[in-house]
Amino acid sequence: MLLGVGNIFQLRARSISLLFCLILTGFALVSLALTPSEAQQPIPSAVSPANASAISPQVPQGGAAGSAPSTFGAQTQQTGLNIVVLDPAHGGTDPGARGTGGIRESEIVLDFAIQVRHALEQEGFQVVQTRQGNEDPSFDDRSALANAQRGAVFVTLHISSTGLPGTARVFVNSDLPSAIGSNGLIPWDRAQAPFLGLSKKLGDLVQGLLAQRFKGSPDAVQTASVRQLRTTAAPAIAVEISSVTVNDRAELDRMAPGVADAIAHGIAAFKPSYVVPNTTGALR
């Protein structure tokens, strides 16, 4: 059977239109598939070490330990400090330090967090808490919550079982090797490295204010290998209050307003120093 020229053109036109329809359908499917994942990215819970062994967070310009900012020099855009991630340590089956009088660190820090949160909100900060009740998120889950924020600092609250009762210490993480690769990503396990300079600055400010309020507290921030701070990609400090060994819990409760005030004012004083380049924030 012979086909006429008209029939050939008709067939070709049908093939082209069919191909065009297929391409359009493909584009539609791809865009539908991409949309939900992009929408999920800003949600903190989407950021976990399981799917993000390396991160590209805001890398500070200032700070002695920030040796990598040049990597992001071209992308510099100032971002203000608006959010404080507040971490009442321990919780759940982990009570933390325990005093002979039945005082549990996990309970006290939760009460402290309420007052610190109130003081921070009065200073105009948005506060995100890693736990609201008696849960025990993992170290990485707590860090993931902080690492998902833009323009944030991280404060973890602790009560010690040693030290002069009625004093408070601020810790920043010990020096970590800067490990930003040529691809600009920071390993999750060294997320704190580029922020150590800013963390120290924040820690000194808060420690200074605590020393004014609580006699016997050190004047300067101290360093320690704090697990919680290491994976946090933001200026991060640990505040440790002494101690669960007090006979009466009221002694610790009386410290809460002073601690809250010192943290809130310290972060407010730190705010002008908080200048970080605004990077893509992509996680992998």
Partner 1 sequence: MTPRWRIWAIGGLIVAVVAAAIYFPILRRRVRRAARQQQQSEEQARRELTQPIVVNPGDPRVKTTLFWGSDTNDSTLVPVTVELPLSKDPVLRSKQVLNTLLAGPVDAELRTLPPDAVLLAFYLLPDGTAVADFSEALATSIPSGIASEQLAVNSIARTLEANVPQVQRLKILIHGQEMETLAGHLDLTEAFVVNTKLAQPPPSSAANAPATVPPALTAGHRPAN
Residue among 89 and 116 whose Cβ is closer to partner 1: 89
Listed in sequence order, the residues at least 6 apart from 80 whose beta carbon sits closer than 8 Å to its beta carbon are: 151, 271, 274
Q: How far is the CB of 128 from partner 1 (least distance, A)?
A: 22
Residue among 238 and 262 whose Cβ is closer to partner 1: 238
Residue among 146 and 185 whose Cβ is closer to partner 1: 185
User: Of 15, 18, 48, whose CA–CA distance to 138 is shortest?
Assistant: 48
What's the token pair of residue 200? 């120290």
Q: How far is the CB of 266 from partner 1 (least distance, A)?
A: 18
Q: How far is the CB of 152 from partner 1 (least distance, A)?
A: 21
Q: How far is the CB of 29 from partner 1 (least distance, A)?
A: 32
Q: In sequence order, what DSSP letters do the residues of 24-67 get, joined into one string?
A: HHHHHHHHHHHHHHHHHTTSGGG--TTT-SEE-----SSSTT--
Residue among 176 and 205 whose Cβ is closer to partner 1: 176
Instruction: Name the residues that contact partner 1, by CB under 8 A.
Output: 53-54, 89-90, 94, 96-98, 105, 139, 158-164, 169, 171, 174-182, 185, 187-190, 193, 218, 222-228, 230, 238, 240, 243
41 and 148 in contact (C-beta within 8 Å)?
no
Residue among 134 and 222 whose Cβ is closer to partner 1: 222
234 and 146 in contact (C-beta within 8 Å)?
yes
How far, in Å, CA of 16 to CA of 10, rounded?
A: 10
